[in-house]
Amino acid sequence: MLTLGINYSQMHDSAACIVRDGELLFAVAEERISRVKHDARFPQLAIQACLEFAGVGAKQLDEVCFGWQTAGPVYRHDLKLYALGDWPITYLNVLNSTRHFLSMWHQQSGAKRFVQRFGPVSGRMRFVDHHLAHAISAYAYSGFDEATIVIMDGRGAWEATSIWRGRRGRIEHGLTIPFPDSIGVFYSAMTEYLGFVPNSDEWKVMGLAPYGQPGVKLEAFIDPEAAPYRVHAKRLSGNGSGLPPSLAALLGPPRAPESEIEDRHKNIAYAAQECCELAMLSVVRMAIEKTRCRNVCLAGGVALNSKANGKILTSGLVDRVFVQPAASDEGVALGAALEPYLDHGGRLPDKAMRHAYLGPSFDDDTVESTLRAYRLRYKRLGDPAATAAELLCRGKIIGWFQGRMEFGPRALGNRSILADPRDPQMNAKVNNAVKFREWWRPFAPSLKKETAGAYLESATDSPFMILTAQVRPEKRSTIPAVTHVDGSARPQTIEKDVNPLYWRLIDEFGRRTGVPVLMNTSFNLRGEAIVHTPTDAVRTFFSSGMDALVIGSFLLEK
């Protein structure tokens, strides 16, 4: 069976993937190809890339599976909220809901767009409930036979949080908390209040939080432990344009984007993060009570909160945790593509996801012809890992472009900017010269799995940089550039057989320095999507303060 999974909601993160006989072959987010960050348009470039990778046309697909319900149910839920007074019935809110509905309805929720662009399909078009698609994306790729599945996001069609039980390849629904009682709505509102972009910059709030002090009370907006939590959505919902007035009334004026960060902002970030962690723990606790299973799978945009995920892992509530690395909506493509396997009492394929290298790759011939086309001076390398390790030892900041691009928001050693984590100034150097991003956002370490335990107190099997762990106190001064102000880090552990080249680079660096750890951040400039092609890599390299670019078997230096 050949199935195509699609995320398309016109909200954010359009993406596509292709699955053959239960095996995920290829997945890519539209933003990487279109270069429009969080691109919400119909993912025609991503679909095209999937079909090309599999060498098939639309006619050969058995199923085209969207990770959303059709437009009707989404709109009906919105109308119900307006009628019941659960969401402010303002001109702009109703206009936005209606415009979204009419646009999606006209496109048959994406089906018509698909046929217009790729021709008729002989198979079926299916629309999978959004949270079920998230739930499959968490469970089917976890490798767990039995699992408690918790989905938390901003919103599905009507869902905000849901609990499921996975067992022997089947999924059973347990409970749904409907939108707008949503942890995602709460955290996005706080993100916007603090002057960042909602549904995009939640990382910044999480990074800022440890600089704050306890004391700010947010119970007017969320009660994080009210079995399992309660969001006072009316106070967080505006008129459809800008922040709701109650936020400013209770917390003071919102921070203007790009303005100075004051202590007040840090303290609000601290409180927002603490409430989010408590609410997530409360949902997980309730879910485990229901299912009696301590293997937990998480997905949905809220599960990108790596700090909270780390707390769940070390809470004593769980035995094992799998967080779908594409926890945000791009991941519903992965879940939707597997839903047909549940038909007629069937079972989901049992394929644990060990890596996220699911995107396009470019061979040395393609890379070299790009370098030649731009008339760049380059060197061919015998051993890119050894050369890169040597450069890193000398304090150089390098671009590292190898193999298949990662799926999901993190760069995991194939589209990465790398640096020496031992230098306490390296965080500032990379921030100022390369990423041009906020001073408080931490960088993450990549470690060999077998030596991770020497540096970390937990999360020593963390291939996706989606769990935060504490760095061992005695090692914090060894790797200061990747240790956050509260002693935490968001590690990626690498297994030799999963990414041999990247593993060897870390190993080579360790042989030279005694510290087999690298600082790894995504290969992009602030506000841009992670690089996809050799051209993107070269352009980013020359638009930044990076010292060298190791791209395939080639080296470029400034």
Where in the sequence numbering do the catalytic residues fall? 12
Q: Which is nearer to Fe ion, 13 or 536 (CB)?
A: 13
Tally: H helices and E strands in the chain: 18, 22
Q: How far is the CB of 285 from Fe ion (least distance, A)?
A: 22
CB of 9 to Fe ion, least distance (A): 8
In the chain the first and final C-alpha atoms are separated, in Å, by: 49
For Fe ion, give the closer residue by CB, 329 or 507.
Answer: 329
Looking at residue 485, its amino acid is V
- To the nearest 10 degrees (0 to 180), the angle between helices 500-513 and 384-393 is 40
Q: Supply the minimum distance, in Å, between the C-beta of residue 13 and Fe ion.
A: 9
In the complex, the smallest distance separating the C-beta of residue 301 from Fe ion, rounded to whole angstroms, is 6
Question: Which residues, including other chains, have CB under 8 Å from residue 338's CB and lie 6 or more apart?
Answer: 3, 5, 19, 22, 136, 137, 140, 348, 349
Q: How far apart are CA 147 and CA 487, in angstroms?
A: 31
Closest CA to 144 of 296, 289, 256, 35: 296
Q: Which is nearer to Fe ion, 329 or 420 (CB)?
A: 329
- For 58, residues 6+ apart whose C-beta sits below 8 A from its C-beta are 51, 64, 114, 115, 118, 119, 120, 121
> Is 327 or 417 the residue whose CB approaches Fe ion more closely?
327
Distance from C-alpha of 388 to C-alpha of 550, rounded to nearest angstrom: 7
- Beta sheet of 23-29, edge-to-edge order: 23-29, 15-20, 2-7, 63-66, 124-127
- Distance in angstroms (rounded) separating the CA atoms of residues 96 and 75: 10
Residue facing Fe ion at closest CB distance: 153
Could you give the C-alpha distances from 269 to 215, 263, 441, in angstroms and in order?
11, 10, 13
Comparing CB distances to Fe ion, the nearer of 330 and 547 is 330
C-alpha span between 243 and 235 (Å, rounded):
10
* Residue 128 Cβ vs Fe ion, minimum distance, rounded to whole Å: 12
Q: In angstroms, give the least distance from the CB of 293 to Fe ion.
A: 23
Question: For Fe ion, which is the closer residue by CB, 175 or 428?
Answer: 175
For Fe ion, the closer of residues 156 and 442 by Cβ is 156
CB-wise, 192 or 329, nearer to Fe ion?
329
Residues 358-386 as b or e (16 or more Cβ within 10 Å = b): bbeebeeeebbebbeeeeeebeebeebbb
Tokens 């009316």, residue located: 234
The candidate with the shortest Cα–Cα distance to 86, out of 185, 232, 240, is: 232
Shortest Cβ 101–Fe ion spacing (Å): 18
Q: What's the min distance (Å) between Cβ of 329 and Fe ion?
A: 5
**Among positive and negative, which fits the CA dihedral 223, 325, 413, 402?**
negative
3-state helix, strand, coil split of the chain in percent (to 5) is 40, 20, 40
φ, ψ at 210 (rounded to 5°): -65, -15
Closer residue to Fe ion, CB minimum distance, 329 or 508: 329
Output DSSP code: residue 405: P
| Cβ 129 to Fe ion shortest distance, Å | 11
Is the distance from CB of 114 to CB of 121 less than 8 angstroms? yes
Binding site for Fe ion (CB under 5 A): 153, 329
Check if the beta carbon of residue 493 is closer than 8 Å to that of residue 447. Answer: yes
> Is there a contact between 110 and 30 (Cβ–Cβ < 8 Å)?
no
Toward Fe ion, which CB reaches closer, 53 or 75? 75
**What is the C-alpha to C-alpha distance for residues 255 and 272, in angstroms, rounded to an integer?**
15
